[in-house]
Amino acid sequence: MPNKLTGHRAAFHAAAQSAREQRGTWRRLAVYPSVRGSRTTVGRISNGKADFAPQGSWEAYSAACDDGQAVWARYIGGGPRPAPMPDTMTVRVRYAGEGPKHEGVGVLTVTISTRCPRCGGPRGWDKVRPYRFTHHGERITVDAWKNPCGHEDVYAAVVAESRQEQRTTPVELIQDAYAAREIGVHASQAANLLVRNGYADAAALVRGEVKNRGGNLTTLQAVAFLQDLGGGC
Ligand SMILES: [Zn+2]
């Protein structure tokens, strides 16, 4: 007598069947509360267990998503191997500038994951297209892409993500920008830089310290302050 599948297992089995019918298309098979659970499943898929036989006929990966760790897989058996998905993609994005006058509008080149941060699915990394526009008479070219999952990437979030991808700490970020003379002596510029790069918490700490010292805090004092707090957050 066949085992009666529980709801969770039945859904997993159905997703695997459907993925097998759409060879080469990445499908989300399951979401786990922990990395451990998702890695176990990725291992089973890679080893060709149960639904995923024979070994080598599936690719799978685990990625963070809104509600945990997602397992994505695609069936690649019975035909030529599709191009592998790279881990990262490098794209040009628009930096929106600062303040009401949008000063410093321009293009940033950033490296981000090829996985959507919302669902863990592949981004449209293989369909990146140039997007041209004019801003105050200046011609600007950035990159545009559409994610197959339907989640849209917002430029500000992409910039913040690229900083995390490179594991740049707030302290490193400020030091690099200061050395390159992208920011000046006053710590308020360091705080603005942190905000632009998605480090709102560190920026708030620096602004608080600027206030504590009656407005007299240099960029390098801000670095020392962040380091004292523990390795730059
Ligand atoms: Zn998505």
127 or 138, which is more confident: 127
Q: Domain boundaries in the chain?
A: 7-75, 85-166, 168-233
The pLDDT-based confidence of 233 (bands split at 50, 70, 90) is very low
Angle between the 170-179 and 219-228 helix axes, to the nearest 10 degrees?
Answer: 160
Q: How far is the CA of 67 from the centre of ligand 1 (A)?
A: 12
Q: How far is the CA of 123 from the centre of ligand 1 (A)?
A: 7
Q: How far apart are CA 186 and CA 177, in angstroms?
A: 13
Find tokens 């981004």 and name the residue: 123
Q: How far is the CA of 129 from the centre of ligand 1 (A)?
A: 19
Residue positions counted in the chain = 233
Q: How far is the CA of 17 from the centre of ligand 1 (A)?
A: 21
pLDDT given for residue 172 in this prediction: 86
Q: How far is the CA of 157 from the centre of ligand 1 (A)?
A: 14
**What's the pLDDT tens digit per position in 84-117?**
899 889 999 987 766 677 666 778 888 899 999 9
3-state secondary structure of 38: helix
pLDDT given for residue 1 in this prediction: 44
Q: How far is the CA of 51 from the centre of ligand 1 (A)?
A: 25
Find tokens 């991808």 and name the residue: 165
- Ramachandran assignment for 63, one of left (phi > 0), alpha (psi -120 to 50 degrees), beta (any other): beta
3-state secondary structure of 113: strand
pLDDT given for residue 103 in this prediction: 67
Q: How far is the CA of 119 from the centre of ligand 1 (A)?
A: 4
Q: Per-residue pLDDT averaged across 28-48, rounded?
A: 92
Residue 166 confidence (pLDDT) above 70:
no
Is pTM beyond 0.85? Reply is no
pLDDT given for residue 28 in this prediction: 96
Element (H, E) at 37: helix 35-46
Q: How far is the CA of 83 from the centre of ligand 1 (A)?
A: 20
Q: How far is the CA of 172 from the centre of ligand 1 (A)?
A: 30
Q: How far is the CA of 219 from the centre of ligand 1 (A)?
A: 38
Q: How far is the CA of 130 from the centre of ligand 1 (A)?
A: 21
Q: How far is the CA of 118 from the centre of ligand 1 (A)?
A: 5
Return the structure tokens found at 133: 């526009």
